[in-house]
Structure 1
Amino acid sequence: MTLDILRGFQGIGAAATIPASLGILAHAFPPSRTRNVAFSTFAAGAPLGAALGMALGGVLTQETVMSWRSPFYLETGLTFLCLIGGLISFDPDQPSTEPDKRVDWIGAFLVTAGLVLIVFVLGQGEIAPEGWKTPYIIALLITGVLLVILFLLWQSHLEQLQDHSLFSNLDDEPKGYHSNREADKPAGTSARSWLTPPPLMKVSLWRRAKGRFAIMMAIAFLTWCSFLSWNFWAQLYYQDYMGYSPVQTVLRLLPMFVSGVICNILVAAVVDYAPVLYLIVIGTAGTSLASLLFAVINPNTVYWAFGFPGAVVAVIGADFVFASGTLFIAKVAEPHEQSLAGALFQTMTQVSRLSPPSHGGSTGVALLNVVTRQQAATGWGSETLPPLESYQAAQWGAFAFGVLATLLAIIFFRGVGVVGERKVTAYDDDSKQEKSTTVSSPDLEDSKQISN
């Protein structure tokens, strides 16, 4: 229970930090090659942090007297350093220019309660007294889904009120006239009450770029389901089935972190020229291949046959999709929507996060846990470990997640072009001088203008 509560606080920290970071990067770096490097560098923090954390964590767990408690001291120190670094390096926030700063507390309650109930059910459904047939599991799942649907309807309602207020004021107010009446205030400020705040999330945001914003979110969700499921079951395979120590397991996963850093360097180098379709397909296909290798793994062969290539390609999807995906949503979102778009992208990846096997996990891991239990001759609580077929069944499921993400990219991102920005030097006949022009994807820009 203590770990569950503290994990909740840890999640609050990530939920506050990562979307705000993406918003800071989007505002600090205007569309340019420098922005591409900034976003790719930010994405590289994941494999670098994972490499440092897992390597040191494995050594501390195995070699120190405090065992598994030691890595938490390490995390505390590293987080404190991040706090000091942020206080020193971040510029003060600029005053908000939004005309209406009210908070949609109703929407906040609906989406929070709905997602909490859904994630709770996914984590507890398999270990409930009667499994997925347990009455409270069914009731909470239905309630969670209904709350999320109500949230979307409520946001659509508030967005329509805001748009109606904007256009009615623009049509009725004479040019140059500024009324002090409450009903004549701009953009969503008419009829002020706690029932008419600006929406937390404009539903129309998901239709940006001809609906590709929503598709990118789905690709991110499926990619992280595949990658985190592979990571989770690969570790269990090494430690529980093969009987390796924490340090031995870390050494076998170490190529993943090296290839992750290389992937982000490649994204920064080619995102200005390579269409986003190629980046996403290569990434999701790589993660799918890692799951496929472990789905057919032979424990009697050497590590270099299945384990090493699997570790090398597993992280490609996460790094390629995160870097190119955040650049994509930054391009199609408005300046004041950058942090919101980053928060939505982060939510898609967090919903697929994992937890201990006794708690099932979120979405991808939870669903694959059901598959492995069907394959296993015994449960997790038995002294006998699940057979090899259980680990392989989970990896087949992770492979399916990755393939579905690849198919979505191929179908919906054909012709999108590049998401990066690059400077092209041209010769101006009028001034007889060279000048630089920023080049981006016309498809994205047209779609953004249409949606607005």
Structure 2
Amino acid sequence: MARPEKQAEPNPHTDVVERSVWKSIALVAICTLSMIVNNACSSSASIALPTIGEKLHIVQYKLQWILSAYALSSGCLLLLLGRLADLYGRKRMFLLGVACLSVFSLGCGFAQNEITIDVLRGLQGVGGAAVIPASLGILAHAFPPSPARAIAFSTFAAGAPIGGAIGILVGGVLTQLTAATWRSVFFLLAGLGAACFVGGYLVIEKDVPSNERDRRVDWLGAFLVTAGLVLIVFVLSDGSIAPNGWNTGYIIAFIVIGVILLLLFIGWQHYLEKIHSDPDLAARAATKWYLAPPLMKLSIWTRMKGRMAVMLCIAFVEWCSFFSWMLWVQLYYQNYLLLTPVLTMIRLIPMFITGCICNLVVALVIGRVDVVFLIIFGTILTATANLLFAVIKVHAPYWAFGFPAAIVSVVGADFVFAAGTLFVAKISLPHEQSLAGALFQTMTQLGSSFGLAITTIIFNSVLTKESRAAGVAVDKSGTNAPRAAQLDAYRAAMWGGFAFGILGAVLAALFLRHVGIVGHRGDVDALIDDEATAHAVGEFRAGDDGDEKDAEKPQ
């Protein structure tokens, strides 16, 4: 009797697991909840800063580190944790991430001094760095290119404004009205994180091993990029409040070392990619522990004739514009107009409503509209929000400047995130989905820090200049500056945000005109119009495990 033929096992990175509609909905809901918790962890601290400073006796110019500590760890570890998620399991990394968010949120709620809360915020950011790339990889694998993927990614992107709403709206109410004040916000986040952990454990499919032949981690590359980003983000966060500002010795040293480390990382990744693209050299590299596959193939930036790089740059400048607007508008309301956290929160409500509507719009039109129109339209509206505050009249009613700015501010961030992550997922290979999502998220995090640093320089320069002209020596807090000088400084910072938004629109108009529609199921080979993308697809189709001869086309 002939031996029955062994049935081929499904390829975990190309075959889509059959699941019910309700389980698919639950999967999207849990990933979206992770985005909500991540964004709430960031935004809740911003509106509670004045209260935290008062209760923990932290001087105003050091309060920024409560925000920067989270951004530092969450932005600098994305690439490493995204790569580890692709290699060793996205569900595992997801659960680790939400556990960090929950546990360290609880710790922040019990913090008693400045150092403790700064350290815990940094550890909390590690959770954000783990959970977002893993979520993007989970969704990209669970939903092949189709209307369902567009809905899944748009819903996930909607978690950003919802998380912002929970962080700012609910956070403002809890900070002002509860006995625990700002601590209540972190207790709420700990509970949401715990719920997300339970849901992820029950709903997300079991992890399967990566089908890459060489699953070693490029630890040298991970060190270079992480250390370089840490130093650069630290400088961007601390440069304006250092003893001698940007002329402080350690600030100059750190920025130089950070740039050198990033250049070394780029050179090292190029070297590793060159070795592993040659079968003979790759066989020899397998015997040396330090010659692992690159953490990030540089060729990923050249996909679709370099439009991948353009999309990442647009994400960077859009977050420069959006995040700087969001922070300065809160400081304007609370420090200049002297509004309470609740009154500030009320003025930002339209932003979160618009954010949810925007992602619904994306889900409906992403399969019908060229992505360039969405991105140009969105980035211009974010720039417009900055423009409205750049020319704001203090005594004008809220409805004249604040209300329309709140409505349009979030459009660019939502359109760029939803369309950008769909674009990145579509031209990335199945075994690099979390890494590609981490790369996109890294650019948004760096954009947030860079935009804040540049607009802070603008703010401080104008504030100092105008105050000196009025015969006032400004202290580090800036609270003793003349009212007119403060207003001019806020307006100048908003002009900086406006410039970033317009730059994003110009980049899209010049370089994304031929991307087309990214949210439909078309033939993916239509995107393979350049040597870099075709080479990557050819490598994957050859089969990383030596057995896969007919791997599915990239998502």
Summarize the Cα distance change of 1:51–1:189 in structure 2 as closer, same or farther, 3 Å threshold. farther
Equivalent of 1:445 in 528, 533, 536? 528
Structure 2: gaps (5+ residues): 1-114, 468-473, 537-555
Match of 2:400 in 1: 305
Residues 338-371 of structure 1 show CA distances to partners (whole Å, capped at 9, x for unaligned) of 1110000011111233xxxxxxxx2111111111
Match of 2:225 in 1: 111
Match of 1:381 in 2: 477
Match of 2:508 in 1: 409
Give the CA deviation at 1:379.
4.2
Q: Confirm or deny: 8 A CA contact 1:418 1:440 kept in the other structure.
A: no
Summarize the Cα distance change of 1:209–1:350 in structure 2 as closer, same or farther, 3 Å threshold. same
Match of 2:193 in 1: 79
Task: Answer yes or no: is 1:256 the counterpart of 2:351.
Answer: yes
Match of 1:296 in 2: 391
Equivalent of 2:379 in 284, 301, 323? 284
Supply the AA of the counterpart residue of 1:410. A
Residues 385-411 of structure 1 show CA distances to partners (whole Å, capped at 9, x for unaligned) of 552001101100000110111110001
Q: Determine the C-alpha separation between the residues in 2 that align with 1:158 and 1:234.
A: 45
Give the CA deviation at 1:439.
5.7
Give the CA deviation at 1:446.
2.3
Equivalent of 2:459 in 369, 372, 380? 372
TM-score normalised to the size of structure 2? 0.72
Q: Confirm or deny: 8 A CA contact 2:381 2:412 kept in the other structure.
A: yes
Q: Confirm or deny: 8 A CA contact 1:417 1:441 kept in the other structure.
A: no
Give the 3-state SS of the residue equivalent to 1:196 in structure 2: coil
Summarize the Cα distance change of 1:291–1:154 in structure 2 as closer, same or farther, 3 Å threshold. same
Residues 197-229 of structure 1 show CA distances to partners (whole Å, capped at 9, x for unaligned) of 010000111110101111111100110110000
Q: Confirm or deny: 8 A CA contact 2:210 2:431 kept in the other structure.
A: no
Residues 115-143 of structure 1 show CA distances to partners (whole Å, capped at 9, x for unaligned) of 00111111222222222112221111100
Q: Determine the C-alpha separation between the residues in 1 that align with 2:152 and 2:528.
A: 21
Q: Counting helix residues as a fraction of each chain, which structure ranks higher?
A: 2
Give the CA deviation at 1:449.
4.5
Summarize the Cα distance change of 1:136–1:190 in structure 2 as closer, same or farther, 3 Å threshold. closer
Summarize the Cα distance change of 1:252–1:226 in structure 2 as closer, same or farther, 3 Å threshold. same
Q: Determine the C-alpha separation between the residues in 2 that align with 1:351 and 1:287.
A: 18
Give the CA deviation at 1:191.
4.0
Q: Confirm or deny: 8 A CA contact 2:318 2:447 kept in the other structure.
A: no
Residues 72-131 of structure 1 show CA distances to partners (whole Å, capped at 9, x for unaligned) of 111111111111111111111112211111111110110111000111111222222222
Match of 2:173 in 1: 59
Q: Determine the C-alpha separation between the residues in 2 that align with 1:449 and 1:78.
A: 40
Summarize the Cα distance change of 1:157–1:247 in structure 2 as closer, same or farther, 3 Å threshold. same
Match of 1:428 in 2: none
Q: Determine the C-alpha separation between the residues in 1 that align with 2:444 and 2:286.
A: 37
Q: Confirm or deny: 8 A CA contact 1:51 1:257 kept in the other structure.
A: yes
Match of 1:196 in 2: 291
Q: Confirm or deny: 8 A CA contact 1:100 1:188 kept in the other structure.
A: no
Task: Answer yes or no: is 1:30 the counterpart of 2:117.
Answer: no
Q: Confirm or deny: 8 A CA contact 2:286 2:292 kept in the other structure.
A: no
TM-score normalised to the size of structure 1? 0.88
Residues 45-79 of structure 1 show CA distances to partners (whole Å, capped at 9, x for unaligned) of 11112112211111111111221111111111111
Q: Confirm or deny: 8 A CA contact 1:156 1:202 kept in the other structure.
A: yes
Equivalent of 1:349 in 432, 444, 450? 444
Q: Determine the C-alpha separation between the residues in 1 that align with 2:185 and 2:513.
A: 44
Match of 1:43 in 2: 157
Match of 1:317 in 2: 412
Task: Answer yes or no: is 1:229 the counterpart of 2:332.
Answer: no
RMSD between aligned alpha carbons?
Answer: 1.6
Q: Determine the C-alpha separation between the residues in 1 that align with 2:400 and 2:535.
A: 49
Q: Confirm or deny: 8 A CA contact 2:384 2:408 kept in the other structure.
A: yes
Give the CA deviation at 1:450.
3.7
Give the CA deviation at 1:382.
4.3
Equivalent of 1:12 in 100, 103, 126? 126
Task: Answer yes or no: is 1:215 the counterpart of 2:310.
Answer: yes
Task: Answer yes or no: is 1:157 the counterpart of 2:244.
Answer: no
Q: Confirm or deny: 8 A CA contact 1:225 1:401 kept in the other structure.
A: yes
Q: Determine the C-alpha separation between the residues in 2 that align with 1:363 and 1:28.
A: 34
Moved more, 86-95 or 374-383: 374-383
Q: Determine the C-alpha separation between the residues in 1 that align with 2:223 and 2:215.
A: 18
Q: Determine the C-alpha separation between the residues in 1 that align with 2:478 and 2:444.
A: 32
Task: Answer yes or no: is 1:400 the counterpart of 2:483.
Answer: no
Q: Confirm or deny: 8 A CA contact 1:419 1:441 kept in the other structure.
A: no
Q: Confirm or deny: 8 A CA contact 1:62 1:246 kept in the other structure.
A: yes
Task: Answer yes or no: is 1:328 the counterpart of 2:442.
Answer: no
Supply the AA of the counterpart residue of 1:23. G
Give the 3-state SS of the residue equivalent to 2:513 in structure 1: coil
Q: Determine the C-alpha separation between the residues in 1 that align with 2:533 and 2:265.
A: 27
Supply the AA of the counterpart residue of 2:272. L
Q: Determine the C-alpha separation between the residues in 2 that align with 1:382 and 1:95.
A: 54
Identity of aligned residues (%): 55
Task: Answer yes or no: is 1:391 the counterpart of 2:486.
Answer: no
Q: Confirm or deny: 8 A CA contact 1:58 1:246 kept in the other structure.
A: yes
Give the 3-state SS of the residue equivalent to 2:311 in structure 1: helix
Give the 3-state SS of the residue equivalent to 1:126 in structure 2: helix
Summarize the Cα distance change of 1:411–1:379 in structure 2 as closer, same or farther, 3 Å threshold. farther
Give the CA deviation at 1:380.
4.3
Summarize the Cα distance change of 1:188–1:302 in structure 2 as closer, same or farther, 3 Å threshold. farther
User: Number of aligned pairs?
Assistant: 409
